[in-house]
Amino acid sequence: MDKSIFVTRPSMPPIEEYIKEIEPIWKSAWLTNLGKYHNELEKQLSEYLGVENISLFTNGHMALELVIQAMNLSGEVITTPFTFASTTHAIVRNGLTPVFCDVNPNDYTIDVEKIENLITDKTSAIIPVHVYGNICNVSEIEKIAKKYDLKVIYDAAHAFGENINGQGIGNFGDASMFSFHATKVFNTIEGGAVTFSASSIGTQLYILKNFGIQSDVSVNGVGSNAKMNEFQAAMGICNLRHVTAEILKRKIVVERYRKWLSNVNGIKVMNDVKEIQSNYSYFPVVFDEKVFGFTRNEICDRLSENNIFARKYFYPLTNTFECYHGKFDVSKTPIAQYIAKRVLTLPLYADLSIDDVDRICNIILEGYQV
Ligand code: T4K
């Protein structure tokens, strides 16, 4: 029986490297609460991401929840439903109403042509998603935000280390949230960060991730606890040494998938975009069953029968979740609905072998009539 292949597999440093990194933490017994390793990783990440301001968190979701809180938003927030649960939940958990904009059919990010029609006098922000690491149309979003005086917070969970024309992706909008979860291109086991433009947001984030505590005798924010601990930070420091090489290995895997699947009728794959330096975080494939001859679900099942576990990211759409039943009209996001029913993210990680990619593609293409 073949070994199981999952949609992803964490990048990890050699264990000796991690042990060496955590020994001083052990000896000092300073384990968390914004310690030395936390501060060091913050510094290294601001350099790697090419941003001036950054704040680390225990995970990406808390980073998003708290940056939304830090912006003091009210009323409605325009966002997309073609994302992980976190994006929509972070908006709702802040007492805000998500207003769902459709995605564009090319890269599944927010359709900038459809944003303005959704703006009302209650709109306070736009929260677009760089889904799969596909970068939103940041210049159009900026124009709209300026015109209507709206905040922009990017869900950049998938966009670690990406650049547009050499500029780090964390420099756009008022803020961006990155996820450092085990399944991401760069991980701190669990973890996340917010990059932001106004330094006042930094003060707010600092307070909000530590219970709203400003000093020993002053608590002036209704904060949470979302601090990154020292073991997470040490993992980040190790992984950061290897991340560029890991991304290059991912690129080789992606190129092999493209070689097999790019010219298949009824299969759509993502290609590189000239201005964008990609991190190759996900490999989504959209199956048009009428042309390809098989549905996404049939291909997903066929892979599972071979112990290959691709994932239907992002199905179901967040605006169809049971917890939001009756609240949103999914017919207003038809492109997102179309893609969610047909997309499959194929296994992708730095150590996925070319032989495995070949095997996966052969299984996908079994029975395909040219
Ligand atoms: N915004 C967006 C757009 C996001 O995609 C996410 C997270 C967030 C916000 C929130 O960021 P975080 O709070 O998570 O930092 C996974 C990840 O847990 C989640 O981080 C990620 N997005 C989402 C797209 O994928 P699940 O529920 O699919 O994970 P799970 O446990 O099924 O893992 C997927 C596969 O990864 C497994 O089949 C095997 C492999 N795996 C997983 C883990 C946890 C490993 O090999 N080792 C591991 O330790 O959500």
Cα 169 from Cα 362, distance rounded (Å): 35
Distance 148 CA to ligand 1 centre (A): 35
- Please say whether the dihedral angle defined by the alpha carbons of residues 214, 220, 225 and 226, taken in this order, is positive or negative: negative
Which has the closest alpha carbon to 160: 193, 128, 190, 138? Answer: 193
How many other β-carbons are positioned within 10 Å of the β-carbon of residue 330? Answer: 16
Cα 284 from Cα 299, distance rounded (Å): 13
The pLDDT tens digits of the residues spanning 216-257 come to 999 999 999 999 999 999 999 999 999 999 999 999 999 999
Tell me which residues of the chain have a pLDDT lower than 50: none
Q: For the whole prediction, is pTM greater than 0.95? A: yes
Ligand 1: atom nearest CA of 192 is: 15
Walk me through the domains of the chain, giving residue ranges and CATH numbers. Answer: 15-237 (3.40.640.10), 243-365 (3.90.1150.10)
Cα 78 from Cα 126, distance rounded (Å): 5
Residues 70/222, Cβ–Cβ less than 8 Å: no
Residue 203 is predicted with a pLDDT of 95
Cα 217 from Cα 214, distance rounded (Å): 8
User: What percentage of the chain exceeds 90 in pLDDT?
Assistant: 98
Residues 187/13, Cβ–Cβ less than 8 Å: no
Neighbouring residues of 347: CB distance < 8 A, sequence distance ≥ 6: 5, 6, 7, 8, 283, 308, 309, 310, 356, 360
Q: Is the CB of 9 inside a 6 Å radius of any atom of ligand 1?
A: yes
The pLDDT tens digits of the residues spanning 112-123 come to 999 999 999 999
340 token code pair = 């969610």
Residue 1 is predicted with a pLDDT of 52
Q: Is the CB of 70 inside a 6 Å radius of any atom of ligand 1?
A: no
> Best of 84, 131, 224 to mutate for ligand 1, by most ligand atoms within 8 A of CB?
84
Residue 2 is predicted with a pLDDT of 63
Residue 370 is predicted with a pLDDT of 75
